[in-house]
Structure 1
Amino acid sequence: MASLPLPLPLAEAPDDVRPVLQGESPLHVAHGLAERFAQTAAERDARGGTPKAERDALRASGLLALSIPTVHGGLGANWRTTLDVVRVLACADSSLAHVFGFHHLMLATVRLFGSPEQWHALFEQTSRHRWFWGNALNPLDERTLAHPRGGWLEFSGQKSFCSGALDSEMLIVSARHAETRAFLVAAIPTQRSGISIAQDWNNFGQRQTDSGSLTFEQVRVEHHELLSDPGPFSSPFAGLRPLIAQLILTNIYLGIGEAAFDDARHYTLSEARPWPASNVARTGEDPYILSQYGEFWLGLEAARALADKAAVGLDHAWSRGTRLTATERGALALAIASAKIAAAQTGLDICTRMFDVAGARATHGELRLDRHWRNLRTHTLHDPLAYKIREIGEWALNRTYPTPSFYS
């Protein structure tokens, strides 16, 4: 890939948003929120359910308007800054980073699939009302059908893995047209009649993402709510949507890996005792433990470099707009896939081996340090890494770019 420009500086926030941030940079605000969220992360992991107070803190922070252009009342941040905020939040609480990152993915979906009239209005309302967006798109779950009803469509069926749908104001939803089988995407209010969101998310990881199921019962969707101009995969630029999703996941994985590293280091230095055969006075002098930390650090540094390079590439592609070529999109897909694989493999390695260096006391149940592995293992099953590696192999050997889909 050709060298890419540095990311653009963060645009100045408009007057109606600046007081919310109180003159602080988005990353400074994110670090403050992360410090707060980290204090209750273990307790909330045990409890599960909706992190209502924490989601409201994100609303109040102004960061839900982070990626929205200033002309529409947002903060005008580029993707590099937005993804850095996702990573900071993930280091404290990967569930909150998940719903926050997917909120910005839903906004990107409106921008990439919708008309200027649609995203202008929805961006402005999101900024003004501090809306939280949830996900009910899930292209692999085709149980929802859209039935034509004269001048509107009736959505009926179910969707699974609806992250952040609970406690949201707006949803991105999808359905198959009952007659043409066309894939339809729409932006609709969460509280619309006929939408039921079940509180049935009880997985062992990402326990506060509310990624459970949603039911549509004769939900009325107007034609002007469909994101069909230009619509999904209508151009290489519209095809950035899955790449943004993949890079959000990458930064969540990286944040989890960094959190596991930090927790392991704390317990190695403060709680772990040297093994008698090591003949050292303190655990931090054990050569085997030092070697493992060296491996951890190298893995994180490589994943960080790849993730940051991919974020710069995304900003470059975003700035190209409809001029983006299929080749440019393909090169970005490979850069993001490389970063995602590195972040996932390194993170899983650290989350598994952290107890080898932190010692037996780190397994105390109330600490719930196993949540790092549980969160990462749950999230890395989003789409199989083996297929990502195969995509890179196709490029490395045959110079074939990944075929655009909702997962590549």
Structure 2
Amino acid sequence: MLIISAKEKVNGNLLIAAIPTGRSGVTLINDWDNIGQRQTDSGSVIFEKVRVEEHEILKDPGPLSTPFSCLRPLVAQLILTNIYLGIAEGAFEDAKQYSLHEARPWHTSNMAAVNHDPYILKHYGDFWVGIESTKALTDLAAIKLDNAWKKNAQLSDDERGEVAIRINSAKILATRTGLDITSKMFEVMGSRATHAGLRLDRHWRNLRTHTLHDPLDYKVKELGEWALNNIYPKPTFYS
């Protein structure tokens, strides 16, 4: 199934439809050869006189028509935030196991084992603060979203905006924390940890690929608008 979008010729309104992938006129180009997160699927698709049935157009309630229906992209954003947090936690655990059981102390550290090296401990302290801070912000965002969802049609624009601010904040921190840990984890494991067979670089590759689908700078800009001008993020398919 493909989710496609177009604009009406008469009034320019956005239309969203779900059509079968195998429909005549649809050609999927297998040109997505990315470094990680294979199922992000940003390959090319060619449409040639593709038929769209009336019942395939998603009309009700319509995209971004009410504050409550505008929660849909925020649900997706929070899901992604938890995915990024999960990648960071997975990288942390892999690094921890390697440091404790495989890594060797640096020859000038005067330490018998890596887990007593003050520089290694400093890195793990930073990793821990990053993960715990991200978990706290993500949990707060989830509470805000749950409360907003319960209001259903009574949800106001400002209340929806508060949810967006919380989720944006959590996603920004999850991205930064995840990229930091998945890169710096090699500094606590050493050069042998880069062995291709271990595939420990997969954490960074997956997170780096996935986070580029929604540029972080625009998330930060939205928070800046709120912090300085008290302007909530405008509802879009990404915020």
- Give TM class, smaller chain: over 0.9
Instruction: Confirm or deny that 1:352 pairs with 2:183.
Output: yes
Which residue of the other structure, out of 365, 372, 391, is the alignment partner of 2:222?
A: 391
Alpha-carbon distance in 2 for matches of 1:354, 1:202: 25
How far off its partner does 1:228 sit?
1.8
Amino acid at match of 1:396: A
Partner Cα separation in structure 2 for residue 287 and residue 203 of structure 1:
37
1:366 aligns with 2:192: no
Aligned to 2:104: 273
CA contact 1:310–1:339 (8 Å) conserved in 2: yes
Does structure 1 residue 198 correspond to structure 2 residue 51? no
* Matched residue type, 1:316: N
Judging changes above 3 Å, is the alpha-carbon distance between structure 1 residues 380 and 263 closer, same or farther for their aligned structure 2 residues?
same
After superposition, the C-alpha distances for 1:379-402 in whole angstroms (9 at most, x for unaligned) are 221222222122222222222211
| Map of 1:375 onto structure 2 | 206
Counterpart in the other structure of 2:6: 175
Letter in 2 for 1:379: H
Instruction: Give the CA deviation at 1:179.
Output: 4.4
Q: Secondary structure at the match of 2:214?
A: coil
Q: Among residues 41, 52, 75, which one is paired with 1:244 in the alignment?
A: 75
- Asked if 1:332 corresponds to 2:143, the answer is no
Secondary structure of 2:49's counterpart equals strand
Distance across 2 between alignment mates of 1:264 and 1:254: 15
Runs of 4+ in structure 1 off by over 6 angstroms are: none
Q: Which runs of 5+ in 2 are unaligned?
A: none
Report deviation, 1:301: 0.7
Partner letter of residue 183 of structure 2?
T
CA distance, structure 2, for counterparts of residue 219 and residue 312 of structure 1: 42
SS of 1:241's equivalent?
A: helix
Given that 1:250 and 1:307 are in contact with CA atoms closer than 8 Å, whether structure 2 keeps it comes out as yes
Matched to 1:189, the amino acid is: P
In 2: Cα distance, 1:180 partner to 1:390 partner: 30
* Residue 303 (structure 1) aligns with: 134
After superposition, what is the alpha-carbon deviation per residue over 1:84-125, rounded to whole angstroms, capped at 9, x for unaligned? xxxxxxxxxxxxxxxxxxxxxxxxxxxxxxxxxxxxxxxxxx
Instruction: Provide structure 1 residue ranges, at least 5 long, that are not aligned to the other structure.
Output: 1-169
1:223 partner amino acid: E
Cα 1:223–1:213 shift into 2, 3 Å: same
SS in 2 for 1:174: strand
TM-score (structure 2 length as normaliser): 0.93
Identity of aligned residues (%): 63
1:189 to 1, 20, 23: 20
Is 1:224 aligned to 2:55, yes or no? yes
Higher-RCO chain (CA-CA 8 Å, sequence separation at least 6): 2
RMSD: 1.6
Indicate yes or no: 2:169 matched with 1:342: no
- Provide, for residues 206-263 of structure 1, a one-character-per-residue CA deviation record: whole Å limited to 9, x for no partner: 1244331222222221222211222111111111122122212211211111111111
Q: Distance in 2 between matches of 1:311 and 1:213?
A: 34
Instruction: State the distance in 2 between where 1:352 and 1:218 align.
Output: 46
Separation in 2, partners of 1:375, 1:229: 35
Code of the aligned partner of 2:70: G
Contact 2:85 2:178 in 1 (8 A): yes
* Cα contact 2:40–2:210 (8 A) shared by 1: no
Equivalence for 2:125: 294
Q: Which residue of 1 aligns with 2:91?
A: 260
